């Protein structure tokens, strides 16, 4: 567990499944990724994050208040597939329930997760990306002192909704 001034970043537990699925079902929260996902997809996401931590010691963390209320997630995930447009890399990401927006939780938890990732032998560089319309996440990246690298921007096919364009930011040790 990682503790910040107001938050706890925890390993995933079974009792996180329902609130994670509820967050993933919120159209406003999921707008930047094409809309809500199903409970089955949400459960698969939780499983993927748990496996990543077990295999690599890095993953997204469940973020809770100091009292234990689920707020969302933040963390560094290894992307080891060569199929990603950026190839193998580590990416920092966060997502929070709507009621948690505007409280600085994304910056606070992402900063803690990034510091934790850089304490380890790897990675030396972590990427973060957001769609052009996701100004809130871009603001978090600036507050984290990440460097914008336009040469790494990419697009991926998002199924029937067309291509999703990622603007890339970089943090280095």
The enclosing domain of 59 has a CATH number of 3.40.630.30
Domain coverage including residue 160: 2-172
Backbone angles phi, psi at 63, to 5 degrees: -105, 130
The answer to whether residue 160 scores a pLDDT higher than 70 is no
Say what the pTM is. Answer: 0.92
Could you tell me which residues are beta bridge partners of residue 65?
Answer: 7
Dump pLDDT digits (tens) for 113-125. Answer: 999 999 976 789 9
The model's confidence at residue 159, banded by pLDDT at 50, 70 and 90, is low
Q: What is the mean pLDDT of residues 151-168?
A: 84
CA distance 103 to 136: 12
**b or e along 5-26 (b: 16 or more beta carbons within 10 Å of the residue's beta carbon)?**
eebbbbebeeebbebbbebbee
**Does residue 161 surpass a pLDDT of 70?**
no
Q: pLDDT > 90: what percent of the chain? A: 83
pLDDT per position as a tens digit, 83-111: 899 999 999 999 999 999 999 999 999 99
Does position 70 have pLDDT exceeding 90, yes or no?
A: yes
Counting the structural domains of the chain, the total is 1
Residue 6: the pLDDT is 96
Per-residue pLDDT of 79-88, as tens digits, reads: 988 889 999 9
């Amino acid at each position: 567990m990682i503790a910040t001034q107001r938050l706890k970043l925890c390993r995933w537990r079974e009792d996180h499944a329902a609130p994670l699925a509820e967050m993933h079902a919120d159209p406003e929260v999921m707008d930047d990724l094409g809309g809500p996902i199903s409970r089955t997809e949400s459960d698969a996401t939780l499983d993927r994050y748990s496996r990543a931590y077990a295999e690599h010691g890095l993953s997204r963390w469940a973020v809770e208040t100091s009292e234990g209320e689920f707020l969302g997630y933040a963390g560094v995930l290894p992307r080891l597939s060569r199929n990603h447009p950026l190839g193998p890399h580590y990416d920092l990401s966060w997502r929070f329930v709507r009621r948690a927006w505007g409280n600085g939780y994304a910056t606070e938890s992402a900063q803690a997760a990034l510091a934790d990732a850089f304490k380890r032998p790897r990675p030396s560089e972590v990427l973060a990306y957001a769609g052009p319309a996701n100004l809130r996440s871009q603001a978090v990246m600036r507050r984290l002192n990440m460097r914008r690298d336009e040469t790494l921007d990419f697009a991926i096919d998002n199924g029937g909704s067309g291509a999703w364009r990622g603007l890339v930011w970089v943090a280095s040790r």
